[in-house]
């Protein structure tokens, strides 16, 4: 990751309703849009995962990119959340190195700062394209009173560079890890992800619909599914909301 390459075509806007919606419209335009990246300094109708709304705390990162799904790794199924979170995590640290001891990835692709959510990723498929939307609280966090959980911002670790600098660092990270995926396969992505994620043995709760599983994080299956060591035995989790618990809780 030695500076911005020619891979990305970055467009910067003062304000957009949603960078992901902007990219979705571009995908439907009939032109080749692979490599498009869209940054908004303010996002008024940001979308999160599972139909949630992404709240803009002000001066945050709202970045979406379009990638050619055919350029994925050889074992592409399920790999995008891990590639995206590695690029996101590494890009944030490159922009503010002092944040490294405080940042962690939560399965599969949330970014935590000292255990509190700081960034999230939305991944969508549209025809031959994969859209990756990345949002992060940089200078400030949304109003805690309207959220169900506590959140953090990158500025808790130091002075944050201009959002365009952060975005370009994230784009470099994403390009790097996509290349690693193509060249080395998902096993290399899985190993790198585990180095940056909550440690094996961390107590977790997995919730999704009527599902409620409690146990210890036991790593990732070969395809990226979460392994949870429960009282009833080892469970393999394909989807769900993850809550990190304090040890002994």
Tens digit of each residue's pLDDT (9 = 90 or more) over 11-45: 999 999 999 999 999 999 988 899 999 999 999 88
- For residue 33, count other CB atoms closer than 10 A to its CB: 20
Q: Are strands 103-106 and 61-68 parallel, antiparallel or unpaired?
A: unpaired
In the predicted structure, residue 114 carries a pLDDT above the cut 80: yes
Residue-range definition of the domain harbouring residue 216: 203-244
In the predicted structure, residue 200 carries a pLDDT above the cut 90: yes
* Span of 39-43, 53-57, 162-166, 216-220 with lowest mean pLDDT: 53-57
Percentage of the chain beyond pLDDT 70 is 88
In the predicted structure, residue 118 carries a pLDDT above the cut 90: yes
CATH number (domain holding residue 225): 2.30.30.100
pLDDT score, position 3: 47
pLDDT score, position 75: 62
pLDDT score, position 230: 95
In the predicted structure, residue 178 carries a pLDDT above the cut 70: yes
pLDDT score, position 1: 44
pLDDT score, position 72: 75
pLDDT score, position 59: 81
In the predicted structure, residue 48 carries a pLDDT above the cut 90: no
Do 166 and 236 share a domain, yes or no?
no
Is there a cis peptide before residue 113, judged by omega within 30 degrees of 0? no
In the predicted structure, residue 125 carries a pLDDT above the cut 60: yes
Q: What is the pTM of this model?
A: 0.91
Mean pLDDT for the chain? 89
Do 190 and 231 share a domain, yes or no?
no
Three-class SS of 130-198: EEEEEEECCCCCCCHHHCCCCECCHHHHCCCCCHHHHHHHHHHHHHHHHHHHHHHCHHHHHHHHHHHEC
What confidence tier does 57 reach under pLDDT thresholds 50, 70, 90?
low
Do 25 and 137 share a domain, yes or no?
yes
Mean pLDDT on 54-79 = 79
Number of domains in the chain: 2
Q: Is 31 left (phi over 0), alpha (psi -120 to 50) or beta?
A: beta
CA distance 173 to 83: 9
CATH number (domain holding residue 63): 3.30.930.10
- Tell whether 249 is covered by a domain: no
pLDDT score, position 86: 98
Could you give the C-alpha distances from 126 to 28, 51, 130, 132, 239, in angstroms and in order? 8, 17, 6, 11, 21
Do 37 and 142 share a domain, yes or no?
yes
* Gyration radius of the chain over CA positions: 17
């Amino acid at each position: 990751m030695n500076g911005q390459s020619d891979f990305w075509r970055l467009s910067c806007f003062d304000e957009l309703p949603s960078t992901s919606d902007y990219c979705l419209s571009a995908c439907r335009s009939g032109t080749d849009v692979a490599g498009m990246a869209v940054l908004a300094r303010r996002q008024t109708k940001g979308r999160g995962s599972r139909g949630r709304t992404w709240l803009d705390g002000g001066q945050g990162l709202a970045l979406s990119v379009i990638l050619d799904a055919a350029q994925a790794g050889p074992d592409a199924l399920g790999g995008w959340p891990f590639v995206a979170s590695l690029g996101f995590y590494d890009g944030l640290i490159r922009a503010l190195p002092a944040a490294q001891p405080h940042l962690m990835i939560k399965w599969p692709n949330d970014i935590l700062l000292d255990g509190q959510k700081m960034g999230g990723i939305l991944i969508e498929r549209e025809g031959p394209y994969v859209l990756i939307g990345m949002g992060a609280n940089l200078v400030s966090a949304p109003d805690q009173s309207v959220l169900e959980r506590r959140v953090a911002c990158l500025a808790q670790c130091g002075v944050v560079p201009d959002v365009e600098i952060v975005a370009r660092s994230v784009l470099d990270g994403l390009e790097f890890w996509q290349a690693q995926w193509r060249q080395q396969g998902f096993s290399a992505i899985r190993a790198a992800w585990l180095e940056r994620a909550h440690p094996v043995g961390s107590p977790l709760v997995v919730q999704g619909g009527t599902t409620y599983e409690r146990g210890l994080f036991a790593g990732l299956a070969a395809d990226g599914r979460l392994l949870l060591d429960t009282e009833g035995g080892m469970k393999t989790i394909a989807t769900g909301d993850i809550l990190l618990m304090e040890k002994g809780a």
